[in-house]
Structure 1
Amino acid sequence: MLRWPIAILIVVNVLAFVALRGTFGPTPTAGGREPNRLNRQIHPSWLKVQPVSAADAADQAVVGGPAPEAPISTSELPQ
């Protein structure tokens, strides 16, 4: 009963392996997706990197830092 599904999976795996090895042509990610993009840029030398100021850095999230404490007050429940 499981012979056919297993046989189909083996055939599909072999086809996937052969396709990734380049038998059917290069993979879509083998080359640049937009090779002419760099040629179409207008004045790429005008781009300048600027450091982030202290005021702008205050708005940025801290990745990997501790989670902020929630302003929730707790109290005992009356019994």
Structure 2
Amino acid sequence: MLRWLLAILILANLLAFAAIGGMFGPTPASGSRETQHLNRQIHPERLVVKAIRPSESADLPTVGGPVADPAVQASSLAQ
């Protein structure tokens, strides 16, 4: 029983290896069928780094500054 399972798994791995290797034809990602994806890629030379304005950094914590108290209201429980 275990030998058949092992044989089936080995055959499945060989079939998957053959499919990835291109034995059944080219994979869909290897061709130039969808050229619009190449046109939409980000080019690193076009990226620009800009500083964050103080109005945009309102949610970022200030390192080394005082910690604000959380906006939580607490009250004692009635028994």
TM-score with structure 2 setting the length: 0.47
TM-score with structure 1 setting the length: 0.47
